[in-house]
Amino acid sequence: MDRKLGFDRERYITLQSEHINARREEIGGKLYLEMGGKLFDDHHAARVLPGFTPDNKIEMLEQIRDDVEIIICINSHDLERGKVRADLGIPYDEDTLRLIDVFRDRGFLVDHVVMTQFEDGNQRAWEFKERLENLGLKVSRHFVIEGYPSNIDKVVSDEGLGRNEWVETSRDVIVVTAPGPGSGKLATSLSQVYQDNQRGIKAGYAKFETFPVWNLPLEHPVNLAYEAATVDLNDSNVIDPFHLKAHGEYTVNYNRDVEAFPLLKSILARVTGTEPYQSPTDMGVNMVGNCIIDDEVCREASIQEIIRRYYRALVDERRLDTDDRTYSDRAAVVMAKADCSTADRAVVAPALEIEERTGGLPGSAMQLHDGTIVTGKTTELLGCSAGMLLNALKHLAGIDRELHLLSPSSIEPIQTLKTQHLGSQNPRLHTDEVLIALSVSAADSPEAQRALAELRNLRGTDAHTSTILGPVDEGIFRNLGVNVTSEPRYWKKRLYRKR
């Protein structure tokens, strides 16, 4: 069952690699390429640009792999507060190690980690630095610069960028990436350009920022979805005033790049003697907008992402038991800009209807790629998510919904194991337990075999539950590629919950 495509990934790989090579030749020395967004697993881009795959960017860089070196940045403050990647559910320090393994497995050179905004009192940063060095990695510390970015004289000096620990690179294209936004990639790139030129090494800078897309309208849903994804940073899309003044052309950028541009321009002018860029848009190498093949498909996908981000903010606030609604309020503003609401998410109403019809028991709904809505209710044997998953697989495999893929006799021993031996108070099967039971049944059941074969067709579908998912179900849906949201409430009141 094919998903509607709005983006040409092959065209993107070709155009983007050609554009980076052209920029590299223009600079005529080392190119520090700041990589905005996720380099290897950009699930956000894959959701809002159907056809874009999470590894599109890394596949593009493989075209010039022998000339590429990768530096990974991590903000020391993110370590201190234990920041977690929402799409993978792992903290930034662990994701840094994961990214290094992924890049190396693909044949890329990656030996350096830069720890930005480093402060002596941050114990977790010191511990992670020691851990990286014990693993054979080279770690450089970059520090907070007083007056950054407005005090140009201080920034472009030995007490500013010159105070940072230099990364000695060996390739001509240095990709600067990070586990997530706000990691200090721009400052790291500028520091390297400054210090290289101080050492007589010709170096320049360019930015590969997927979002916002410079040649789409300011409030195009694709660009608004970026705002929704960065409510924690309070980013906003803006018209690039520098580009408009220099070229008379309306293009889209975001506030932090526009604010930082005078600094960047001054740094490049001081350290290289040239002014290669007249605007933040000029310094970008983003060809995404040239590879959209169905604008309507991308618009609809982006609307769904905006609503998903709103629900995620609500759930995160509920999990933290906080009255602070800053992030969800910002996400609500983005929904208003996009002229959408939770009613535009087709799986919400059916999930809530199931809950109402069953007297307040949790309900769920999933929309398949053909538009079909399947639901799940809470029973004595199955949780609503597990029931929904089985019903979706039955529909895709053409199996009668009334047929039991798992007999009660096969479920009951699992329930007994959970409640009598493993200490669980909930006898209902979670999604992982259902999938294991289904796999066992597939040894003797052709129907179970057919159902399992349809798991790949769940990737990219949407689902909603009437209560907050537990970590197990949430992880299963993430691994299956199901875009799931939840109402910001728990089914039962508890003071302690596993996070």
Q: Are residues 160 and 277 in the same domain?
A: yes
For the ranges 78-92, 116-130, 170-184, 216-230, the lowest mean pLDDT is seen at: 78-92
Give yes or no for a contact between 439 and 452, defined as CB atoms under 8 angstroms apart. Answer: yes
Q: What is the rounded average pLDDT of the residues 390-396?
A: 96
Average pLDDT, the chain: 91
**Whether pLDDT at 213 is above 80:** yes
Q: Which residues pair with 51 in a beta bridge?
A: none
CA distances to 138, 207, 339, 450, 451 from 445, rounded to whole Å, are 53, 53, 48, 9, 10
CATH number for the domain including 440? 3.40.140.40
Integer Cα distance of 44 and 69 in angstroms: 24
| 228 assigned to some structural domain | no
CA distances to 6, 172, 222 from 292, rounded to whole Å, are 6, 30, 11
Tokens of 52: 């874009």
The pair phi, psi for residue 476, each rounded to 5°, is -65, -45
∠ CA 164-166-172, nearest 5°, is 135
**Whether pLDDT at 493 is above 80:** no
| 168 assigned to some structural domain | yes
Integer Cα distance of 453 and 445 in angstroms: 13
Question: Among candidates 312, 328, 333, which has minimal Cα distance to 224?
Answer: 333
Q: Are residues 60 and 165 in the same domain?
A: yes
Q: Are residues 254 and 383 in the same domain?
A: no
Q: Are residues 380 and 282 in the same domain?
A: no
Number of neighbouring beta carbons within 10 Å of residue 110: 20
∠ CA 63-56-67, nearest 5°, is 25
Bond prior to 362 in cis (omega within 30° of 0): no
Q: What is the pLDDT of residues 309-348, one digit of tens each?
A: 999 999 999 998 888 999 999 999 999 999 999 999 999 9
Integer Cα distance of 39 and 33 in angstroms: 12
Give yes or no for a contact between 4 and 301, defined as CB atoms under 8 angstroms apart. Answer: no
Integer Cα distance of 160 and 154 in angstroms: 6
Confidence (pLDDT) at 305: 98
Which 3 state secondary structure label does DSSP give 357? helix
Number of neighbouring beta carbons within 10 Å of residue 81: 11
| 322 assigned to some structural domain | no
Q: What is the pLDDT of residues 79-100, one digit of tens each?
A: 998 888 876 778 999 999 999 9
Q: Are residues 377 and 251 in the same domain?
A: no
| 46 assigned to some structural domain | yes
**What is the residue-wise DSSP string for 124-146?**
HHHHHHHHHHHTT-EEEEEEPPT
Q: Are residues 271 and 355 in the same domain?
A: no
Segments forming the whole domain that contains residue 22 = 9-218+243-291
Integer Cα distance of 422 and 420 in angstroms: 6
Q: Are residues 400 and 278 in the same domain?
A: no
**For residues 447 and 497, which has the higher predicted lDDT (pLDDT)?**
447
Bond prior to 280 in cis (omega within 30° of 0): no
Confidence of residue 499 (pLDDT cuts 50, 70, 90): very low
Give yes or no for a contact between 327 and 316, defined as CB atoms under 8 angstroms apart. Answer: yes
Q: What is the pLDDT of residues 144-170, one digit of tens each?
A: 988 887 788 888 899 999 999 999 999
Q: Are residues 280 and 358 in the same domain?
A: no
**Residues sharing a CB contact under 8 Å with residue 109, sequence separation 6 or more, in sequence order:** 68, 69, 70, 170, 171
Give yes or no for a contact between 58 and 39, defined as CB atoms under 8 angstroms apart. Answer: yes
For the ranges 229-238, 259-268, 339-348, 439-448, the lowest mean pLDDT is seen at: 259-268
Q: Are residues 357 and 287 in the same domain?
A: no
Q: Are residues 249 and 383 in the same domain?
A: no
* Strand 462-465, strand 483-486: pairing: parallel
Integer Cα distance of 214 and 130 in angstroms: 40
Integer Cα distance of 249 and 240 in angstroms: 9
Confidence (pLDDT) at 422: 74
| 22 assigned to some structural domain | yes
**Whether pLDDT at 357 is above 90:** yes
Q: Are residues 153 and 65 in the same domain?
A: yes
CATH number for the domain including 98? 3.10.630.10
Which 3 state secondary structure label does DSSP give 325? coil
Integer Cα distance of 400 and 385 in angstroms: 19
Q: What is the count of structural domains for the chain?
A: 2
Q: Are residues 286 and 352 in the same domain?
A: no
The pTM assigned to this predicted structure is 0.86
| 326 assigned to some structural domain | no
**Whether pLDDT at 113 is above 60:** yes
**Whether pLDDT at 497 is above 70:** no
For the ranges 104-108, 205-209, 481-485, the lowest mean pLDDT is seen at: 205-209
DSSP helix, strand, coil percent of the chain (3-state; round to 5):
50, 15, 35
Confidence (pLDDT) at 275: 84
**Whether pLDDT at 274 is above 70:** yes
**Whether pLDDT at 13 is above 80:** yes
Confidence of residue 495 (pLDDT cuts 50, 70, 90): very low
* Strand 84-85, strand 68-75: pairing: unpaired
| 232 assigned to some structural domain | no
